Amino acid sequence: MNIETSQVLRRPRRFTGEEPATILELPRETQFQVIGDVRYALTAQRFDADMLVRGVLEVDVRGRCARCGECCNQTIRDGTFARSYPLSAANELIDLTADIREAILLALPMNFLCSEACRGLCVQCGANLNKAPCACGKPRQTIPWGMLDQLKLKRK
């Protein structure tokens, strides 16, 4: 994505559009699959010898949840993109592609989750606990109390 600096004045100017996902240069074997284009809604503004660009970057990805293993889509968002570019000529073409790529890559989660509240899989039976509680959890929780009752009965 390029901005022609002669188009940018002290009054903020908005640039919105899409860039192909190939600008991210993601290796094929990542845990994410990018769906569609990288969307940007940026505001460029001139400050003396610099051009400030701020705004929002978004891309949809499909990945496998690190807890439950289900495939899900998620929107990766950098809502605080901000970069300053020094201006050296009356008019020049400033390429933001590398900075957009960097910002999106930093916004990618280390642990891809279908939801923050994902309950994951039961370590005992492997059931997906988001769908229904499995039978393993309940008896285990009640065993200590049952044992205490038995101990009390034995003492009497």
Any contact of residue 121 with Zn ion (CB under 5 A)? no
Q: Is 41 in the site for Zn ion (CB under 5 A)?
A: no
Q: Output the CA–CA distances (angstroms, integers) from residue 36 to 18, 20, 57, in the order listed.
A: 9, 7, 13
Per-residue x/- track, 80-119, Zn ion (CB under 5 A): ----------------------------------x---x-
The dihedral built from the CA positions of residue 95, 99, 102 and 106, taken in this order, carries a sign that is: negative
**Of residues 89 and 117, the one with the C-beta less far from Zn ion:** 117
Q: Are residues 100 and 106 in contact, defined by beta-carbon separation less than 8 angstroms?
A: no
Residue 67 binds Zn ion, judged by CB under 5 A: yes
- Asked if residue 68 binds Zn ion (CB under 5 A), the reply is yes
Tokens matching residue 31: 């845990």
**Cα–Cα distance between 15 and 22 in angstroms, integer?**
20
Per CB under 5 A, 136 contacts Zn ion: yes
Tokens of 50: 């610099």
Query: Closest approach of Cβ 64 to Zn ion, in Å?
Result: 9
- Least distance in angstroms from the C-beta of 122 to Zn ion: 3
CB of 133 or CB of 146, closer to Zn ion: 133
Which one among 42, 65, 100, 121 touches Zn ion, defined by CB under 5 A? Answer: 65
> Tokens 């769908």 — which residue?
131
Signed CA dihedral, 111, 114, 117, 118: sign only: negative
Residues that bind Zn ion (CB under 5 A): 65, 67-68, 114, 118, 122, 124-125, 127, 134, 136
